[in-house]
Structure 1
Amino acid sequence: MKLFSKEQIYEGDKLTAERQNITSTDLMERAGTQIFNWMHMRMQGAQVPIHVFCGIGNNGGDGLVLSRHLITHGYNVNTYIINCSDKRSKDFLINYDRIKNVTKKWPVLLNCAQDFPEIAPEDIIVDAVFGIGLNRPIDLWVKQLFIHFRKSKAFTLAIDIPSGLYPDQPVKDEDAVVWAGFTLSFASPKLVFFLPETAKFTVQWEVLDIGLDPEFLYTTETHVELIGKNEVLPNYVPREKYSHKGQFGHALIIGGSYGKIGAVTLASRATLTAGAGLVTAYMPKCGYHAIQASFPEAMVITDVDEEIISSISFDIDPTVIGFGIGAGTDTKTAKTFEAFLKTNKAPLVIDADGLNMLSKKKTLLKLLPKMTVLTPHPKELERLIGKWKDDFDKLDKVKAFTKKHQVIVVIKGANTITVFEDKSYINTTGNPGLSTAGSGDVLTGIIVGLISQGYSPLVATIIGVYLHGRSADIAVEDFGYQSLIASHVIEYLGEAFIDLFKQPEQPPQQEASQEEGEAQEQNQT
């Protein structure tokens, strides 16, 4: 799914009006009607008090359309206008007149904190105050209104984006943002829904289709994509009946040190489970018996050293190499890593101590093959690119880093983001159970295994991150967050592959009510 920028959404609105020969007011009617349909389908006429807070711009106009439909369908609704400026948008004023024509209970003008209505915990708040166009700090009394929302403990539904949240800027004052339980977003979700510092402002989100021009949606290129099953499946390459292991590459995993042989074992198992034809593990001598006993499918080459990687010598021609897992940062290991980079020609995936060695001697970055995959956790990322001020600054720094060194960077987190140059791919799978030792080693192995089969490094990384999270999502149903371990992610990886081809269960069909039918007909018109 594409994530459109603020400027692209404005352009999409404009093109839709031109190509469909409608006005911006008509488009606003569509948006507000879709929000009403969403609420009506769930509430079915329930008389819970609904408080719709409208700004004086187009987001407020959407709220007025919603209020009008709620009123005409008999809901218990109160409408408020946040009178924070003398300027009103044209479409807001049109819908302000329309709502006055359907009820004697006109919207209440709020001018200061003394005007705030009482809101009970069982009520519903609809936030239609500010949209994506907010470009200035909000007034103090409006900030107090948002605090009033939170203190009420009422369920808060935000229209398009929680008010006070900028789609392309960090938050400077958390009290000046609406904390929404759910956000109904137009065209696409917003990038801020997936960044660690701003994701908390909406617990859940859903995209509403307001009929934007299909050509615009299909042809517009975005800098950010949301990765789910629909994005992964077209890149999946099925196997032919007469295929054999030689067609799926020979992956080499280099790493391990005394006490950290498990990391190499996990990565090697994940590599083979992800589909590599052959896997060889290169490690210190101390790990030989352990990996041979626990993972008999792997071939093993040992270093001359008993406890660390002090030299790298092998007589195979690997398709791809994963380096750094459990390797430690001993001086001999670091020198060996540098010597290896000077002669290596195979694609690389670097994790853990491999990243730490790159951070200590950044000139080594020049030796990396193009499209090398780096998989840092937050501290490892900080060592590579330096400290960042906020999530937007972090993304900018990572983009600059990938451009300079022509590498792919995986920003691990709740919504892992794969970055290459100006493009970011946000993953939608995974859960807190992945906060466990070894899960990163497994991710490295999965990516290595996919590259081994012939996937490009970027595609392999995007698919690998998705499958890693999806496997954890399936496994957590059996183990829970606390008891999920890295081995479970490997064990459920096959189910994650199979899940790619499962069709979602269809909810039982219900006959639409007359009111819903009329609303849908009006929306289509």
Structure 2
Amino acid sequence: MHNQIVSAKTMRAMDAQTCKLHAMTGLALMERAGRAIFSKLSTTKPWCETRPLIVCGPGNNGGDGLVVAEALLLAGMDVSVCLVSEDQHLSTENRQVYERLKDRVHRIQRSEDIEWLKQQISCHDWILEALFGIGLTRPIEGVFKAVVALLNASGKSIVSIDLPAGLHTDSGQVLGMAVNATETWAIQAFKFGHFLADGKDYCGRLDCVDVGIVPVETPWLHQCLTEEDFLGRFPMRKQNVHKYHFGHVLVFGGDTSMMGAPVLSALASMRGGAGLASIVMPEQLRSAYTFSQPEIMIKTYCFEALPETIGELDEKELSIFGPGLGKKTPAYEQVIEHIMQQPRPLIIDADGLHYAKRWRSELLGKPYVVITPHGGEFNRFFDLSSRQDNDVIATVETLMQDTEAILVLKGPVTLVVRSGRACWIPFGSSVLAKAGTGDVLSGLIAARAAVNTSLFDATCEAVALHAQAGKCIERRHGREGLVASDLLAVMHTAFRSLHDGTE
């Protein structure tokens, strides 16, 4: 499966099944992986034009590195290789490759032995790191700690095989310390640790090397969607159209102290392609709306006569419930109860989740509902303590199994989830970690939902557009100085970038 994301347990099951189906030994699979990495390395600049130092560990990840070293040596390349292990123990397959290469491999077993490594780092152009891969489950210590510290202090580019040493495969947590890689080449499938917690900071540029390992059936499919996956999904608008072709977004939001939030959502929906946008608020708040936004219409309603004053949504209308509502008006529970009975796309964001919690079970059963919490809102909506949320993958899978609604779990990597499927969109920027950017995202989801018959696909497209807008700003101005409304100004650029790959 293209761009699949798996746990360490699933990856080991895939290895075992591949060996069984193809009657392969573990050594044969290791050699296949090593040759695939060698093939990528030998055709990818700048790595193919420069001299590498290969640093291997005692397990099968280290064995992959030794196979790469063997292939490079056979190709006549000038490489140096070291094998780090605190004792004589090597995995069976690692030892088999080591025995073929031992005259060319320098062993490092104690911290005092790394003087050789210091000298080699200085006379090589870059480092291929294969210390642990997915095999590490405890903090790095001893000679490995000294080696990782030396690699990080080297100033050299580092390519890690499968996972930077020191990063937990499933959680992305740093186990004491970790290699700060320039690039990470995942073997066959991405791992959860590439994206969670510290993963994005330590993996550098991610790529995946296909080595022919067969997938195994799992209850959930986790898939990484890159910018390339969205190219062509944002076609140019046809000429013979009018505004009602692109939907009317109703933003139920705003409070005396947070009227900017629904404005951001409404404007984002129009920047994202919606034909019309209205802010819908209680009549008593109308005087608090002081913004001058000529594109946005205002509608009001009375809590005492909700069905009559809100009315029924027509087929062109979509709702966003939550931006800037505050949490002090229990009557909003009646508003969400009224809206959610109408089978039109409904995006529940921010404070809207506070009021929607009363109807949680019913909402999760509706295929036209999208909830968009960040981590803290997710915990509160599902009554979780932070301790229960330590394993975010298991938590999401358990809570969203057999549901119809869509979950957008916002974070450094945003997940779009519906029962049995989770799409990870990892190319956003930390410039998005600002108040109001979630309001922009809710507007984009509504806009894409208006023109896409698949609400799940529309939601993924909106998250991608939001992430791309953040990247556009980062490329031009760096990661500091952004406010949420800046995203609106580059939305046309983000569209073009995902349309044809240009800015």
TM-score (norm 1): 0.79
- Please list, as runs of the form range in 1=range in 2, the aligned pairs for 1:93-492 lying within 5 A after superposition: 93-100=95-102, 106-117=104-115, 118-119=117-118, 122=122, 124-134=126-136, 140-150=142-152, 155-169=157-171, 171=173, 173-175=175-177, 177-210=178-211, 212=212, 216=214, 223-233=221-231, 241-285=239-283, 288=286, 294-304=292-302, 313-315=309-311, 317-318=313-314, 319-337=317-335, 339-340=337-338, 343-358=341-356, 362-368=357-363, 370-371=366-367, 372-385=369-382, 386-389=384-387, 393-403=391-401, 406-492=404-490
Q: Offset at 1:269?
A: 1.4
- Measure, in 1, the Cα distance between the counterparts of 2:431 and 2:404: 32
Aligned partner of 1:370: which letter? K
Consecutive unaligned residues in structure 2, runs of 5 or more: none
Aligned partner of residue 98 in structure 1, secondary structure: helix
CA RMSD of aligned residues (A): 3.8
How far is 1:379 from its partner?
A: 2.3
Range with bigger deviation, 145-154 or 404-413: 145-154
- Deviation for aligned residue 1:342: 7.0
Q: Which amino acid in the other structure matches residue 82 of structure 1? A: S
Identity %: 26
One-letter code aligned to 2:200:
A
* Higher deviation after alignment, 78-87 or 268-277: 78-87
**Distance in 1 between the 2:217 and 2:402 partners?**
28
Counterpart residue type for residue 365 of structure 1: R
**Alignment partner, residue 89 of structure 2:** 86
> Within 5 Å, which residues of 2 pair with 1:28-67?
28-34=33-39, 36-37=41-42, 41-42=46-47, 44-46=49-51, 51-67=53-69
Structure 1 residues 36 and 282 mapped into 2: Cα distance closer, same or farther (>3 Å)? Answer: closer
Partner secondary structure for residue 276 of structure 1: coil
CA distance in 1, matches of 2:40, 2:452: 45
CA distance in 1 between counterparts of 2:45 and 2:238 reads 49
Q: After superposition, what is the alpha-carbon deviation per residue over 1:240-275, rounded to whole angstroms, capped at 9, x for unaligned? A: 554433333332111111132221111111122222
Whole-Å Cα distance in 2 between the matches of residues 67 and 83 of structure 1?
21
The answer to whether the 8 A contact 1:342-1:367 is kept is no
**Counterpart among 27, 32, 37 of residue 32 in structure 2:** 27
The Cα shift of 1:462 comes to 0.9
Q: Tell me, in whole angstroms, the C-alpha distance in 2 between the residues paired with 1:39 and 1:97.
A: 29
How far 1:413 sits from its partner (Å)? Answer: 1.5
> Could you tell me how far 1:463 is from its partner in structure 2?
0.9
Structure 1 residue 445: Cα displacement: 0.7
Cα pair 1:6 1:167 within 8 Å, conserved: yes
Cα pair distance change 1:19/1:414, threshold 3 Å: same
| In 2, Cα distance between equivalents of 1:81 and 1:16 | 28
- 3-state SS of 1:224 partner: strand
State the Cα distance separating 1:151 from its structure 2 match.
5.3
Separation (CA, whole Å) in 2 of partners of 1:8 and 1:425: 17
Residue aligned with 1:501, SS? helix
Q: Distance in 2 between matches of 1:295 and 1:435?
A: 25
Q: Is the 8 A contact 1:277 1:453 kept in 2?
A: no
Quote the offset at 1:466 in angstroms.
0.5
Tell me by how many angstroms 1:78 deviates: 4.0
Contact 1:470 1:496 in 2 (8 A): yes
Q: Which moved more, 1:251-260 or 1:113-122?
A: 113-122
Say which SS state the counterpart of residue 499 (structure 2) adopts: coil
1:384–1:68 distance in 2 versus 1, CA, 3 Å: same
**Corresponding residue SS for 2:194:** helix
Letter in 1 for 2:224: L
Distance in structure 2 (CA, Å) of the matches to 1:491 and 1:270: 10
Q: Alpha-carbon deviation of 1:85?
A: 5.3
Bigger shift: residues 429-438 or 128-137 = 128-137
SS at match of 2:480: helix
In structure 2, relative to structure 1, the CA distance for the partners of 1:161 and 1:240 (3 Å cut) is same
Show the counterpart of 1:77.
Answer: 80
Q: How much does 1:415 deviate?
A: 1.3
Cα distance in 2, alignment partners of residues 147 and 424 from structure 1: 35
For residues 26-81 of structure 1, the C-alpha deviation after alignment (integer angstroms, 9 at most, x for no partner) is 414413523642677436245xxx54332333322222233334545353524234
**1:320-350 CA distance string (max 9 Å, x none):** 2110111112234444446535754433111
Letter in 2 for 1:300: I
Contact 2:469–2:491 (Cα < 8 Å) also in 1:
yes
Alignment partners' CA distance in 1, 2:199 and 2:291: 46
CA distance in 1, matches of 2:352, 2:305: 14
| SS class of match (1:253) | strand
Q: Provide the C-alpha distance between the structure 1 equivalents of 2:291 and 2:77, rounded to a whole number of angstroms.
A: 70
1:473-512 to 2 correspondence within 5 Å?
473-503=471-501
* 1:108-148 Cα shifts (integer Å, max 9, x gaps): 33333333335267564432222324567777444454345
Shift of 1:7: 5.5
Moved more, 221-230 or 443-452: 221-230
**2:139–2:175 Cα contact (<8 Å) kept:** no
Distance 2:215 2:239 in 1: 38
What's the CA shift string for 1:416-439, capped at 9, x where partnerless? 122223322111332222222321
Counterpart contact for 1:271–1:448, Cα < 8 Å: yes
CA gap of 1:208–1:282, structure 2 versus 1, over 3 A, is: same
* Counterpart contact for 2:82–2:108, Cα < 8 Å: no
